[in-house]
Amino acid sequence: MIEMLAHAWSKDIGGRSLDAILSKNVLEKNPTVVKTNKNLAKLLKNVNKAKETLSANKETKLVVESILEGGDDLRMTVTREDFEKTWEHLTNLFTDPIDEVLA
């Protein structure tokens, strides 16, 4: 039998937060993205897939069809190292709950 001794979490960070951070980074690197709701939804969907791929691989291709000016596709390589750098300033939001449980 397993007995849970403690639990903790942060309501301020999670998978969707990381998707948003990576999306913002992609938009900063690609100023020609046409920022319509439809395009931003497509970007967010594909960024989520890239994030999941990066959990097991060192890099992945991010492709989002027809979101650049002129209807061109966005194509770029995202590395796990670059992805981790985008949210490195938020590390304490992940480690604080762990520290709380272990205290």
pLDDT tens-place values along the chain, 103 residues long = 899 888 888 887 788 989 999 999 999 999 999 999 999 999 999 999 999 999 999 999 999 999 999 999 999 999 999 998 988 888 777 788 888 888 8
Give Cβ neighbours of residue 39 (< 8 Å, ≥ 6 apart). Answer: 33, 64, 66, 67
Nearest CA to 95 out of 3, 4, 25, 13 is that of 13
Q: What pTM did the predictor assign?
A: 0.80
- Name all domains of the chain by residue range, CATH numbers in brackets: 15-96 (3.90.640.10)
Give Cβ neighbours of residue 66 (< 8 Å, ≥ 6 apart). Answer: 39, 72, 73
Strand partners, 64: 74
